[in-house]
């Protein structure tokens, strides 16, 4: 089989079969084809697309390009969740212990953040001692014992995705829906969960800026999951503003704890309850999303969700005392209040700019090599639709220097627009695809 023939076939709009797809993926992983040939193939896919069968074949080949997890020794329906990324998106730290507190095993493999899309692993590593580097055997043991694990991505998982992703980023092929679907779903399938709930973000702070593209992505992933015999639900939610009010690593840990203590309401709680309810429903613990939401809310009220978080921290060698004493978490040296320069209703938040402001504080990475400041970030003081006066505090910034605070402030001020006209309320949950 010849890679050039396969490239030409896809370039001309042909349909790839299993043998051709497997050859392309395995040859890339084994280093038998050049980067420029892989890039040419990715561009052909970008231009000509893949049908559902082709996307399923590519996803399966990528999922089996490295190590896979067999979770069959863990009793019950194992659940996982994935978010396409956003700002103030702290849902995993809330819903994972909540769902586990209701007897559903949660096996969550997460990554580190790049840019303003914060990574769950970065947030957990802001907790002193918390170990996210676990062997397959240790992770399975912990879930079998305590019903939950949140760990960093195994480096031997889906090596094909790592190769393709690095080339997509520099060849203008990132936006291809089939390539996004195969990238996300290959990792989730290789991780071995029986059910996957997908949180597909849509809006200014998301990769998918409009509902139509978000729905296309969601439906593509659901279709692939079904073909691979997984229970899949996709929730399309708005990222027209930061989901939570705390943006940064230790800051988001604090907000997650406050939600589990029952002290914080709003969008972050709402989305967490919906995603968690979908996980419960797929695990056959409830009959409807509304029933699942009530079950999760009850375990916030009775403290069982918070106790499961404490168990998670202890089992992975973190300091559980941070739950009761936030001073044990990293804190930035400097803080700065951002004041509004206009008056009116907040009609628009450029959430990507707010995310960029957090990166300027040191809370996010501009490159993969950047070292994070776990105590840096910002706290939002306003929400869409709120009426503000000139001089009103709209955010508080935390950073290691005054220069970083000022740089973040300048971006923040450009991110928020006001008007004399009160805007209509933004819908938070845009769609649920089962």
- Exposure class string for 286-305: b at 16+ Cβ within 10 A, else e: beebeebbebbbebbeeebb
Task: State the Cα–Cα distance between residues 28 and 37, nearest whole angstrom.
Answer: 9
For residue 147, give the nearest of 372, 271, 309 by alpha carbon: 309
Distances (CA, A) of 262 to 255, 298, 303: 11, 10, 8
Task: State the Cα–Cα distance between residues 412 and 395, nearest whole angstrom.
Answer: 8
Is 95 within 8 Å of 126 (Cβ atoms)? no
Q: Look up residue 311 and give its two tokens.
A: 């168990």
Task: State the Cα–Cα distance between residues 235 and 86, nearest whole angstrom.
Answer: 14
Task: State the Cα–Cα distance between residues 232 and 226, nearest whole angstrom.
Answer: 7
* Angle at 207 (CA atoms; ends 38, 264), nearest 5 degrees: 140
Is 90 within 8 Å of 246 (Cβ atoms)? yes
Report, as residue numbers or ranges, the catalytic residues: 82, 161, 168, 183, 187
């Amino acid at each position: 089989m010849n890679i050039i023939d396969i490239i030409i076939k896809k370039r001309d709009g042909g349909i790839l079969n299993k043998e051709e797809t497997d050859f392309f993926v395995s040859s890339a992983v084994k280093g038998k084809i050049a980067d420029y040939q892989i890039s040419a193939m990715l561009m052909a896919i970008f231009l000509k697309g893949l049908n559902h069968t082709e996307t399923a074949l590519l996803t399966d080949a990528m999922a089996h390009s490295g190590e896979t997890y067999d979770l069959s020794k863990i009793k019950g329906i194992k659940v996982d969740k994935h978010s396409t990324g956003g700002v103030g998106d702290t849902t995993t730290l809330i819903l994972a212990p909540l769902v586990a507190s209701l007897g559903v095993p949660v096996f969550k493999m997460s990554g580190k953040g790049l840019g303003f899309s914060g990574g769950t692993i970065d947030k957990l590593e802001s907790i002193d001692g918390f170990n996210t580097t676990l062997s397959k055997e240790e992770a399975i043991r912990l879930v079998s014992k305590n019903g939950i694990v949140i760990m960093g991505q195994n480096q031997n998982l889906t090596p094909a995705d790592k190769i393709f992703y690095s080339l997509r980023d520099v060849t203008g092929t990132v936006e291809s829906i089939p390539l996004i679907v195969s990238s996300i779903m290959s990792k989730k399938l290789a991780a071995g969960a029986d059910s996957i709930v997908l949180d597909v973000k849509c809006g200014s702070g998301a990769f998918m800026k409009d509902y139509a593209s978000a729905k296309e992505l969601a439906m593509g992933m659901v279709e692939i999951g079904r073909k691979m015999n997984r229970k899949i639900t996709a929730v399309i939610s708005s990222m027209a503003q930061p989901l939570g009010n705390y943006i940064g690593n230790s800051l988001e840990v604090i907000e997650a704890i406050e939600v589990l203590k029952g002290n914080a309401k709003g969008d972050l709680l709402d989305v967490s309850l919906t995603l968690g309810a979908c996980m419960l429903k797929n695990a056959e613990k409830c009959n409807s999303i509304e029933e699942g939401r009530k079950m999760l809310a009850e375990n916030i009220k009775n403290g069982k969700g918070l106790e499961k978080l404490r168990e998670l921290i202890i089992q992975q060698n973190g300091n559980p005392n941070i739950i009761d004493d936030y001073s044990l978490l990293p804190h930035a040296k400097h803080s700065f209040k951002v004041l509004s320069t206009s008056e009116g209703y907040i009609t628009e938040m450029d959430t990507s700019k707010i995310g960029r402001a957090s990166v300027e504080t040191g809370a996010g990475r501009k490159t993969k090599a950047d070292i994070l400041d776990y105590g840096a970030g910002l706290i939002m003081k306003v929400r869409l639709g709120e009426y503000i006066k000139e001089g009103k505090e709209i955010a508080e910034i935390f950073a290691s220097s005054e220069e970083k605070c000022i740089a973040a402030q300048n971006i923040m001020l450009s991110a928020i627009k006001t008007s004399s006209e009160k805007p209509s309320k933004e819908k938070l949950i845009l769609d649920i695809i089962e």
